[in-house]
């Protein structure tokens, strides 16, 4: 579906010859001399690379319609992740490469929103923070309380994060899914 550069909005996804891009920022500019133009900042949906592009006003671009489906993560089948569509109960097997970093935060029965474009997963919407159990970490020594001291901890999903010294194996902690940083004990 063709859309005019005058109708661009933040978050809109465009199917350009270079790939699939999401509009991060746009600015409509009308100089005193010459025609108006639209300056954009676009983020590649697949790689995350950000590019800046300038288009003439009223230039036509191809808009990509992203289908967002609410899914429940059921289990891992070998290396693949199995999801179930919560509305149709249809199951979908997904390769870990398609999920990217989101695979580090998924545990069974978690709800996520998968972004699909022509049957291909182009993004995963996770909650801002998830609760994960600490699988292994070194025990914190009593009196070993240097302000801000951290130690590595391996979580149930295999993700390694830096945690405070008082966190022990078996504890449940909250992790920020955008940065992968420890937030608090749950």
By residue count, the chain amounts to 186
DSSP letter string, 10-76: TT-EEEETTEEEEEEEEEEE--SSS--EEEEEEEETTT--EEEEEEETT-EEEBP-PEEEEEEEEEE
Is pLDDT above 60 for 144? no
pLDDT for the residue 141: 66
pLDDT for the residue 165: 83
Q: Where exactly are the structural domains of the chain?
A: 2-62, 67-125, 129-185
pLDDT for the residue 42: 92
CATH of domain 129-185: 2.40.50.140
Q: Which CATH architecture has domain 67-125?
A: Beta Barrel (2.40)
> What element of type H or E holds 122?
strand 120-125
- pLDDT digits 0-9 by tens, 7-20: 888 888 888 888 88
- pLDDT digits 0-9 by tens, 69-127: 899 989 888 888 899 988 888 888 888 888 888 888 888 888 899 888 888 888 888 88
Is pLDDT above 70 for 57? yes
Distances (CA, A) of 76 to 36, 37, 92, 123: 52, 49, 11, 19
CA distance linking residue 1 with residue 125, whole number of Å: 24
Domains 67-125 and 129-185 share a fold: yes
Domain 2-62 fold: SH3 type barrels. (2.30.30)
What does the pLDDT average to over 174-182?
88
Is pLDDT above 90 for 138? no
Give percent of the chain above pLDDT 70: 96
Between 43 and 146, the higher pLDDT residue = 43
What does the pLDDT average to over 50-77?
89
CA distance linking residue 57 with residue 59, whole number of Å: 6
Handedness of CA 137, 181, 150, 132 (dihedral sign): negative
What does the pLDDT average to over 54-65?
88
- Mean confidence (pLDDT) of the chain: 86
């Amino acid at each position: 579906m063709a859309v005019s550069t005058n109708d661009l909005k933040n978050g809109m996804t465009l199917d350009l010859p270079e790939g699939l891009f999401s509009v991060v920022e746009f600015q409509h500019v009308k100089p005193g001399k010459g025609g108006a133009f639209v300056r954009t900042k676009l983020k590649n949906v697949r790689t995350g690379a950000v590019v800046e592009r300038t288009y003439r006003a009223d230039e036509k671009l191809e808009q990509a319609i992203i289908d967002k489906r609410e899914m429940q993560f059921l289990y891992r089948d070998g290396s693949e992740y199995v999801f179930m569509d919560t509305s149709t109960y249809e199951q979908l097997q997904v390769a870990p490469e398609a999920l990217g970093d989101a695979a580090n935060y998924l545990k069974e029965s978690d709800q996520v929103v998968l972004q699909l474009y022509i049957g291909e997963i182009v993004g995963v919407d996770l909650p801002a923070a998830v609760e994960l159990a600490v699988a292994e970490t070194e025990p914190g020594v009593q009196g070993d309380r240097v302000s801000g001291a951290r130690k590595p901890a391996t979580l149930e999903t295999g993700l390694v994060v830096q945690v405070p010294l008082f966190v022990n194996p078996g504890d449940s902690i909250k992790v920020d899914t955008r940065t992968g940083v420890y937030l608090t004990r749950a």
